[in-house]
Amino acid sequence: MSSETTHRPMVAILSGAGISTDSGIPDYRGPQGLWRRDPEAEKLVTYEYYMTDPEIRRRSWRLRRDSEALGARPNGAHEAVARLERAGVPVRVITQNVDGLHQIAGMPGRKVLELHGTARAVRCTHCEVRSGMDEALERVAAGEADPACRECGGILKAATVMFGEGLDPEVLTEAVAVAQACEIFIAVGTTLQVQPAASLAGLAVEHGARLVIVNAEPTPYDELADEVVREPIGVALPVLLDRIAVGDGG
């Protein structure tokens, strides 16, 4: 069948922590997640604690310095998403992750909406100037326990959305538009319990999209789904997306 007569459905992929666990990045909320093992660790990513307690900031920078997350590489699931986009299928990724692995795998940055920001950059909480996380961590390694903004002296933080901060309204508005416009909405590696990201699945269904959920555990949206896949993401997602790429998306 020629490409002219093959319908290419618009696909929205909402990705959560589960898509990156095969890359060695922990699921913070899972049974073995960091928040379960060390409730104090949640303070490190809570805006009020971070902004008012220098020791919390120092601990946060040490954690980032010692973390191997920035060295993580995309796995087969990230690569399958990028492969789908290269096959000519209109794809938009809405991710709850801050690891940047979709882009490293080859997804164009303009097609990835990072709801919770990125851990690969830092921003000044006063003047809003942004710079690379690598540069900030080099300063920490050189002895600056709590590096300040070089432009204005303000407090630096990762360009992620901490607990107590709101999402970027422009990113959220675009995510809503994608959910409303897509024909297939795939929620992968997410519990679909964190709002407002989770509500995007229901919004897509309301606008006529086919909902597919790929997650190890049940989610509140399973009953709305046309297909629920419990197999490991690294195996299941490439099969599912390759099926869509050849025009067998259901």
pLDDT of residue 2: 43
Q: What is the mean pLDDT of residues 126-135?
A: 96
Instruction: Decide whether 1-25+74-116+162-250 matches 27-71+120-160 in CATH topology.
Output: no
Residue 244 confidence (pLDDT) above 70: yes
CATH of 27-71+120-160, one of 1.40.20.10, 1.10.3720.10, 3.10.20.600, 3.30.1600.10: 3.30.1600.10
Whether the CB-CB separation of 151 and 185 falls below 8 Å is answered with no
pLDDT of residue 182: 98
Whether the CB-CB separation of 39 and 236 falls below 8 Å is answered with no
**Stated length of the chain:** 250
Q: What angle do CA 213, 160, 174 make, to 5 degrees?
A: 55
The proportion of the chain whose per-residue pLDDT surpasses 70, expressed as a percent, equals 91
Longest alpha-carbon distance in the chain: 63
pLDDT of residue 28: 60
**Where are the chain's structural domains?**
1-25+74-116+162-250, 27-71+120-160
Tens of pLDDT, residue by residue over 36-92, are 556 677 888 899 999 999 999 999 999 899 888 888 999 999 999 999 999 999 999
Please, what sign has the CA dihedral across residues 162, 164, 165, 166?
Answer: positive
Which CATH architecture best describes the domain 1-25+74-116+162-250? 3-Layer(aba) Sandwich (3.40)
* This prediction's pTM: 0.91
Answer whether the bond into residue 147 is a cis peptide, omega within 30°: no
Token pair of 8, please? 């290419």
User: What are the contacts of 131-135 at 24+ separation with CB within 8 A?
Assistant: 133/64, 133/70, 133/158, 133/159, 134/70
pLDDT of residue 38: 66
Burial of 215 (0-12, 13-18, 19+ CB in 10 A): buried
Choice among 7, 78, 116, 207 that is catalytic: 116
Distance CA 213, CA 201 (A): 9
Distance CA 240, CA 131 (A): 37
Tens of pLDDT, residue by residue over 148-192, are 999 999 999 999 999 999 999 999 999 999 999 999 999 999 999
- Active site includes 116? yes
Instruction: Name the band, by pLDDT with cuts 50, 70 and 90, for residue 29.
Output: low
Tokens 């993401």 belong to 233
Q: How many helices (H) and strands (E) does the chain have?
A: 9, 9
Distance, CA of 149 to chain centre: 26
pLDDT of residue 39: 66
